[in-house]
Amino acid sequence: MEIDIVVGDDPSGVSSLRRWLLAEPDLRGQALVSVRIEGQQQGAMGSGLDVVNVVLSNSIALGSLLVAVATWRRSRPRAPQVTMERDGVVVTLDGDSPEAVQRILREWGGSTPQPEPSLDDGIGE
Residue 121 belongs to a domain: no
- Whole-angstrom distance, CA of residue 95 vs CA of residue 43: 38
Residue 125 belongs to a domain: no
Residue 60 belongs to a domain: yes
Residue 27 belongs to a domain: yes
Residue 70 belongs to a domain: yes
Residue 123 belongs to a domain: no
- The pLDDT tens digits for 4-61 are 999 987 778 999 999 999 999 999 999 999 998 876 555 555 566 789 999 999 888 9
Query: Domain limits at 7?
Result: 2-39+48-111
Give 124's pLDDT tier (boundaries 50, 70, 90).
very low
Q: Report pTM.
A: 0.76
Task: Give the pLDDT of residue 104.
Answer: 85
Cα dihedral 50, 101, 81, 16 sign: negative
Our count of domains for the chain comes to: 1
Residue 120 belongs to a domain: no
Residue 19 belongs to a domain: yes
Contact 72, 1 (CB under 8 A): no
CATH of the domain at 93: 3.30.70
